[in-house]
Structure 1
């Protein structure tokens, strides 16, 4: 059987399981990301315990990447490369090194590597599409219009959990490096406001003052979080905290965002008008935004920033007004008097994102080894991360000032969801976050994703009862 057949089967299983997880989560009124993550944990651990080669490589994907990169970089054999990548315990009989090598050079090694690369590719595309869609839901105008209240909430919402996370990590994990502490702090500073937005919409509170503060703060929070992520990645790359390198990354981040805010929308509008002279409206509305997202993601990666920064920025500067649409769905009457419904860019790209993004969450779940949950260290880390994650965002609510329900705003900023997972996965891929920390982060994400909608709904209902 040709390798492509195995890839098709693999994708069918992953996408099918993601759909099941999403369906179950929605059935119990939970965020779909939670179901995709949990189904990945279940699928990955069962396959790993059964000794499946693909599940083993995915469970230790960061180690496999480092090993293969060493082989490709030096041209040495797998065994020689392993001597440079793994420590003595990992190289010992029964260690992770021997387990990986047996699958990477075994009789079905080509099939395993091709399937792993396919999942890795789909997963990375999923992250880029996800951040692009988040950008599409906002706009440069939204960024500019947010008031001081949202600005203060977002700054405290990033600084507080980042600082608390760094301090707690230094206390609980004194043996790890400074870049690891920084990455943990950055992961805890992330916010996924999509869950909150859905709760506010379901409760018909989407236009309340609290909702506007939360959503406005979330826009700035995304930018601040991505800038922090870019700076931390730069620090990890250099191996130490160097002022010159940090300053360079900070200036690049600010310069890139400034150019996007000042000239992004006008440039996109001009380009779209030129493309309309050559291509049909449907082609431009679908293909131009995708090409722009990939181009800007590649550009930010090239200059040393995270590719997701470019994808998010691309979403910010694309809006339906560039394509002649002023409403969610533009309606045009043809010559026969029939309405022609033209879908928005977001509606066109949403099915593509829905295909790729779940692969990312399932893959993240498959890298969580449930054995680490039995370790006292992991449990304590998970408790510490969760407490810091909640306290840090509740503090941000205090910065909202008077005239609003500060507790509602703080709760609304708590969910980490997919953004926290993205940060953690980047850290795991760079080798600065180990299995125990990654598992603890996943537990934190699950808890904050579960409790936030419940507490937020209770708090809003309680506020409305008091007003009555």
Structure 2
């Protein structure tokens, strides 16, 4: 009990020191020090977010719940302190550097989860994932439509359709993190869920394009383009096929070239290049970048980089883990 009380006292003083530091730094920063003050604010936000993430995660894990729930709850607490009269952390909500770190964090998370499966593993659950994805799009679309009719019966059918379409979006980042926290990310069920989330992202784009086209047509400013919808589907398929081709044909030569470089960190850097490259391409074709990161993890199989491990390198999972430990909680606290 004394140890627990001591820990609580230490935490209280740390938080109090952070509050005091925040007030002293930003009350004294002038125009010439604006840039330096911005950098300090990013550092302060990282202190608060990482501390809150670990405290919240530890609390929920003590009750057998995934740590991500604690991170989300701490995000909600930090984001609503203004209701208690403290506005010191309001800048976190619109902090661009913090937002970038958060986005990179969720990309790393999906890359990390993708590394735990292979293309063959995902193909085995392909049909099941497709059925789950279709139901996961149709059900929220219809429920959103009906709930909209119930609460807003005076609105037009286009409003109800648009609300239904917005509910087809999913948060694969939270799904992946919960599965990982529970130690279930390598199970068949997890592969079905994650495969469905990728397909869901494509179907969601199609539905949004159809509904937007119908609304534009009704307003007289456009029409539903069959070619546009077909192009969305084609881009998604080309991306998936392209990722598989990269994995089977390009990566072996890619990592052999990396073996010729003698500088430190080549293996990790080359793996991250694949992750960020496919995340970028996914964003360019209209998919979520995290879908590209997940695909990058799937196509990186041990056979491609075995020579790196033969010369004493750690596995990709071991190299990525510290980066994920730092960046992933930022995403979930900020989301909360």
TM-score band by shorter chain is 0.7 to 0.9
1:156 aligns with 2:139: no
1:13 to 41, 48, 63: 48
1:303 maps to 2:282: no
Partner of 1:141 in structure 2?
Answer: 120
Aligned to 2:271, the other structure's residue is in SS state helix
Can you give the 5+ residue segments of structure 1 that lack an aligned partner in the other structure? 62-115, 333-339, 366-468
Secondary structure at the aligned position of 2:115 is classed as helix
1:323 paired with 2:305, answer yes
Residue 266 of structure 2 corresponds to 284
**SS of corresponding position for 2:167:** helix
Relative to 1, partners in 2 of residues 1:232 and 1:275: Cα closer, same or farther, differing over 3 Å?
Answer: farther
Structure 2 counterpart of 1:72: none
Shift, 1:229, TM fit: 4.2
Matched, 1:265 2:265: no
Contact 2:276 2:293 in 1 (8 A): yes
Counterparts of 1:409-428 in structure 2, within 5 Å, are none
* Aligned equivalent of 2:107, options 128, 131, 139: 128
- Residue number among 192, 196, 205 corresponding to 1:217 in the alignment: 192
- Residue deviations 1:231-268 (CA, integer Å, cap 9, x gap): 45656887755432221111100111012123423311
Question: Which segment drifts farther, 169-178 or 7-16?
Answer: 169-178
Which of 71, 80, 93 does residue 45 from structure 1 map onto?
80
Does structure 2 conserve the Cα–Cα contact (< 8 Å) formed by 1:230 and 1:306?
A: no
Partner deviation per Cα, 1:342-363 (whole Å, 9 max, x = no partner): 4210110111112111111111
TM-score between the two structures when normalised by the length of structure 1: 0.54
Q: Contact (CA 8 Å) 1:186, 1:229: kept in 2 or not?
A: yes
Cα distance, 1:137 vs. partner? 1.6
Aligned residues of 1:158 and 1:189 also touching (Cα < 8 A) = no
The alignment covers a number of residue pairs equal to 285
Q: RMSD of aligned C-alpha atoms?
A: 3.2
The 3 A distance-change label for structure 1 pair 306 and 318 is: same
> How far 1:189 sits from its partner (Å)?
9.3
CA distance in 1, matches of 2:50, 2:174: 26
Distance in 2 between the 1:122 and 1:189 partners? 18
- 1:247 aligns to 2:247 (yes or no): no
Name the SS for the 1:267 alignment partner.
Answer: helix
Unmatched tracts of structure 2, length 5 or more: 1-28, 30-35, 150-154, 217-223
SS of the equivalent of 1:304 reads: coil
TM-score by length of 2: 0.73
* 1:18-97 equivalent positions in 2, closer than 5 A: 18-50=53-85, 52=87, 54-55=89-90, 58=93
Q: Encode CA deviations 1:429-468: one digit per residue, 9 max, x unaligned.
A: xxxxxxxxxxxxxxxxxxxxxxxxxxxxxxxxxxxxxxxx
